[in-house]
Amino acid sequence: MAHRVLVTGGAGFIGSHVADAFLADGHSVTVLDDLSRGRRDNVPAGASFVRADITTAEAATVVREGRFDVIAHLAAQIDVRRSVADPAFDAGVNIVGALRMLEAVRASGAPTRVIFASTGGALYGDFATPPNAETVPKDPESPYGIAKLSVEYYLAYYARLHGLDTVALRYANVYGPRQDPHGEAGVVAIFCARILEGRPVTIFGDGHQTRDYVFVKDVARANLLAARAALPAPGRLDGRAFNIGTGVETSVVDLARTLGTAAGRPVSVEQAPARTGEQLRSAVVVDKAAKVLGWQPRVTLEQGLRDTYHWFAEQHATARTPATSGTGRVGTR
């Protein structure tokens, strides 16, 4: 059955892949994005596009009047370090933006399933030994993680009091094509850019801090399955929350080494002091997603890093090669 789907943040890295997945499955997709971090050319050709900030009345009108069957809410402030520097800004986007969206869904009266992009790393903090299941105590180390947890409490509240159909997908460290190499949120993209530029990658501390790296197309497929799965009754924190990762811890040192294999060249490393407050270990248990959603990761880290590096290499080559059409322009994405 075809659905009307809204993907907020659908011009961004993960959101554009989510939009791709819903379109490929035969659904009608609208992308809402303010393009503050996203790119217009990330929006799939078959999707409608609305440029709007998720915190505004304009975005609320789109949600309320669209009466969507599914909303994948990925519009967010994604930089953990910025959340530490400016927690009020982070809360304004990540908490208030989500609340405005939920209020608009409630006002619409539509039986919309809201799929919220939460975090499986920043939510659990360093107080539980990974891999972490959904029910472990939460004690986020950053305002970013606090905001994500706050929204999950609001999801449970809106489900109990207003009957909203809500789901939280707690992503591990997502990587893949289209990730921004110019921010703090994507170490794989940053490393790919450094390798292609012939520059050393920077490893903070001893490099033994770990993350659970999950390929973006696996994450997009999780959204698709969450949209159509038969789920338990909503209303309790963790009840409709699903970790989306691999359950495997990979150190930064091993990540750099595996990327070097994908690139076919040794990776030069420069050491830098450890960053204050950085989480030391992170990985999630994905058994619940397998049982309830029928989801498991399909792409190995080696395959995913190879595909990601090759995509960045193509972008790098295109940006460096003058167009041959006589326009004098340089081809870029």
Which residues carry out catalysis? Answer: 144
Nearest to 180 by CA among 329, 42, 318: 42
Run of H or E including 152: helix 143-162
**Sequence-separated (6 or more) residues with CB below 8 Å from residue 46:** 23, 29
Q: Are strands 250-251 and 210-211 parallel, antiparallel or unpaired?
A: antiparallel
**Residue 119: which of 233, 271, 269, 284 has the closest Cα?**
284
Closest CA to 244 of 117, 114, 145, 79: 117
CB 283 within 8 A of CB 245: yes
Contact yes or no for 85/149 (Cβ under 8 A): no
Distance of CA 257 to the CA centre of its chain: 24
Prior bond of 131 cis (ω within 30°): yes
Q: What CA–CA distance (Å, rounded) separates 5 from 41? A: 19
Task: Report how far apart, in Å, the C-alpha atoms of 1 and of each of 5, 25, 55, 151 are.
Answer: 12, 10, 31, 29
Closest to 121 (Cα-Cα) out of 76, 172, 189, 66: 172
